[in-house]
Chain A
Amino acid sequence: GAGVSQTPSNKVTEKGKYVELRCDPISGHTALYWYRQSLGQGPEFLIYFQGTGAADDSGLPNDRFFAVRPEGSVSTLKIQRTERGDSAVYLCASSPRGGPVGTEAFFGQGTRLTVV
């Protein structure tokens, strides 16, 4: 497909468990972003990758959250010891270059994470 793909679309997990959320960006896009959207709120920035490196992880809420992009394409967001407050829609976006110029970011449909 041509768009950003996120899997799974829905994930229900028990409190304290570990989860991984996957993002397949648009081919050739060097910039990749993760956002978290709570109910009734706008998306909040978590982390930005330029290629393989995390260029800005200032939005990660605590050390339970970690993300990787080992080959500069697919990214995985990892959450350890999940808490009920982690329940949200996790959005991934990619763009051709990233940076401050305002190039368009293309969003996936998100993974809805529910921690019970």
Chain B
Amino acid sequence: GDSVTQMEGPVTLSEEAFLTINCTYTATGYPSLFWYVQYPGEGLQLLLKATKADDKGSNKGFEATYRKETTSFHLEKGSVQVSDSAVYFCALIGSSNTGKLIFGQGTTLQVKP
């Protein structure tokens, strides 16, 4: 079945450092890919998405490119801030026609001043 694998956390960075969180997926067909973020004490929020190969999703300085050849959707940000500290989830909607999300296990990011 469809699945998502994320790099293990926690990831600890200093402010203004470069961030990469790796995400790879297994799915039949052409899934849609997502990054969700969960800030402390808040619900899951959509950060960005890409619905076809080579699309780049971007939001709040974060970017991820849908790479079908490597089945990856790595999250990047050039300069992280303390306010980016959160749990990040990679997810996909696969060949099912229901729109159900398949999530990775999440990666905790802590940014220190």
Min CB distance A9 to B, Å, is: 11
A4-B100 in contact given A41-B106, A102-B32, A102-B34 (Cβ < 8 Å): no
Q: How far is the CB of B41 from chain A (nearest CB, A)?
A: 8
The verdict on A56 contacting chain B, using a C-beta distance below 8 Å, is: yes
Measured in the bound complex, the distance between the Cα atoms of B98 and A98 in whole Å is: 6
8 A Cβ contacts from A44-88 to B: 44-45, 48, 50, 55-56, 59
Q: How many residues on chain A are close to B (CB under 8 Å)? A: 33
**A110 interfacial by beta-carbon distance below 8 Å:** yes
Contacts of B42 in A (CB 8 A): 109
Residues of the B chain whose Cβ atoms lie less than 8 Å from the Cβ of A55: 98
Assess whether B43 is in contact with A45, with CB atoms less than 8 Å apart.
Answer: no
Q: Does B51 contact A (CB under 8 A)?
A: yes
A interface with B by C-beta (< 8 Å) = 3-4, 31, 33, 35, 40-45, 48, 50, 55-56, 59, 91, 93, 95, 97-110
Tally B residues with Cβ within 8 Å of A: 26
A99 to B97, Cβ gap below 8 A?
yes
With contacts A42-B91, A42-B106 taken as known, whether A105 is within 8 angstroms of B101 at the C-beta atoms is: yes
Could you tell me the distance in whole angstroms from the C-beta of B59 to the nearest C-beta in chain A?
A: 12
Contact: A109 with B43, CB < 8 Å? Answer: yes
Contact B99 A104 (CB under 8 A): no
> Cβ of B102 < 8 Å from any Cβ of A?
yes
**Residues of B participating in the A interface, judged by any CB pair closer than 8 Å:** 4, 32, 34, 36, 42-46, 49, 51, 89, 91, 93, 95-106
Which are the 3 A-B pairs with shortest beta-carbon distances? A42-B103, A102-B32, A107-B44
Chain A's closest residue to B51 (CB) is: A102
Other A-B pairs, 14, CB within 8 Å; known A44-B103, A55-B98: A33-B99, A33-B100, A45-B100, A45-B102, A48-B100, A50-B98, A56-B96, A95-B99, A97-B99, A101-B51, A101-B99, A104-B46, A104-B49, A109-B43
Contacts of A4 in B (CB 8 A): 43
Report the minimal beta-carbon distance from A55 to chain B, rounded to whole angstroms. Answer: 6
Cβ-neighbour of B44 out of A43, A95, A102 (below 8 A): A43
Asked if A41 contacts B105 (CB within 8 A), the reply is: yes
